[in-house]
Structure 1
């Protein structure tokens, strides 16, 4: 009997508020997720299949600017069979960034570090990604065979495009599709910029975080479809990857609701395209197929 087709969630978080505060959760509107979320909570939430596939692996993504959090995530990945890769945080501006990355990779679970991320969306400097210190840090990331998760808002695309032009050897993935302003319904500027970024072949894109850019209570698949159509045309299915942004997506319907929506969006795609979005692109970018086997069973 052949193995079931995999489903990879390329973007989710966990946090323990008794152990590590998450200051951003104190912003208005975040009350429903202002509690601890663990991997077992994800297992309990992610019960719906997408195109016949059930969750088989995930990419755990940093939440706060903390090396200790990254170390904890790597140790968690080393013991839990659901996590196949970690996107961690390190201070890209530090002259010692190379040593820091080497120490992370040499520590417990360090082999699961596959990319880094910084919360550029909160940086007021419109050229933060082009700062010499940051670019030096990102070159150190590339030299170690790691990728970079680009977290920007729709007005910050120039930074990402500039990075793609200046450091073409660095694999990039655009988190949350660059946060298109779905609730406003004004996609023209975002579409122009996402096509500019997609013109660089080293860039991938996460189909994630879209429901929290729409009206949290009233969004439908029809609100998401224009964004999906643009992403599919700009990147092609082989450069798109499914992500839930769980548990943030709880604010706008939750994991299963988003999974059902993605299945609707994929209805016109070929089996190969569906496979790319649901597993293949994330597996390639985060090298999930090179992960060492761990004891236990993934989410069923």
Structure 2
């Protein structure tokens, strides 16, 4: 299984070290993931499943988390890039920090835990819009942790207000797979996909499904995403170690591939690596 002659890229995984960084949200999670997860634990899983490169994505809105990822990425060649954090609601500070962070060649984008904000409309606040304009000025993309139905509707608004910004919707905005509902989500994902600078990640779907999920549970939603975005705007991500809440790395990889096996080799190659390489400007890949 894999992306043909191209590299297989896991475009969405995390690390956290509970002794180095504070992750308050983890205390609300199952003990399965409420512990330290670092690169040595992931490395053999990548090897077994044929993954060549990964993108490490922020797990906390803090400089400590971003600096921890930068330090980790410097020690492992298979980490192709990191998606860090800056305070988008403080545009001047964000500008200063981005100027420093982009000196690290593996700093490839920014994310904010918008789903942890009490205000579901945080993303479209004036100060955040200004911060996103700063981000766009550096040519860096924004990972949108849109959790349906609270945040996906804001993606077209951002696309209109910050037209130079490239965005990627994490986890297909967590569609309601568990209850088998698709229409309202499909309508909103279609609106977001109308903007050519908006991409999406086929990631985190297992934790939106029922406990005994299979590729069949994911297929309807991935098919909609392919129809609306096309393979060149879709990328695979494991969402490890969050994936362990409903399976494991191998199951996510193999079941996703069962869906992708219905697509053409070129489409599969794009989703499993090509899109991520282009979107995140992965050097030398």
User: Into which bin does the TM-score normalised by the smaller protein fall?
Assistant: over 0.9
Paired position in structure 2 for 1:41: 41
Paired position in structure 1 for 2:212: 218
1:290 offset after TM fit, Å?
4.6
1:185 offset after TM fit, Å?
1.2
Q: Distance in 2 between matches of 1:124 and 1:21?
A: 19
TM superposition score normalised by structure 1:
0.89
CA distance 1:86–1:185, shift in 2 (3 Å): same
1:244 paired to 2:241: no
Paired position in structure 1 for 2:54: 58
C-alpha offsets along residues 248-298 of structure 1, whole Å, 9 cap, x if unaligned?
00111111001111110111211111110000000001111357xxxxxxx
The equivalences for 1:245-260 within 5 A come to 245-260=239-254
**5+ residue gaps, structure 2:** none
1:44 offset after TM fit, Å?
2.4
Conservation of the 8 A alpha-carbon contact between 1:126 and 1:159 = no
Q: Distance in 2 between matches of 1:183 and 1:47?
A: 31
SS of the aligned residue for 1:31 comes to: coil
Paired position in structure 2 for 1:146: 140
Q: Distance in 2 between matches of 1:211 and 1:60?
A: 19
Conservation of the 8 A alpha-carbon contact between 1:209 and 1:249 = yes
Q: Which of 59, 67, 71 is the matching residue for 1:75?
A: 71
Conservation of the 8 A alpha-carbon contact between 2:46 and 2:52 = no
TM superposition score normalised by structure 2:
0.94
1:17 offset after TM fit, Å?
1.3
* Structure 1 runs (4+) greater than 6 angstroms displaced: none
Paired position in structure 2 for 1:85: 81
C-alpha offsets along residues 35-88 of structure 1, whole Å, 9 cap, x if unaligned?
111111111233444xxxx11100000001111211121122122101111100
Q: Which of 89, 102, 105 is the matching residue for 1:105?
A: 102
Conservation of the 8 A alpha-carbon contact between 1:59 and 1:85 = yes
Q: Distance in 2 between matches of 1:166 and 1:257?
A: 39
Q: Distance in 2 between matches of 1:79 and 1:276?
A: 27
The equivalences for 1:167-182 within 5 A come to 167-182=162-177
Conservation of the 8 A alpha-carbon contact between 2:7 and 2:274 = no
Q: Distance in 2 between matches of 1:251 and 1:130?
A: 31
Q: Distance in 2 between matches of 1:159 and 1:43?
A: 36
1:130 paired to 2:104: no
Conservation of the 8 A alpha-carbon contact between 1:47 and 1:256 = no
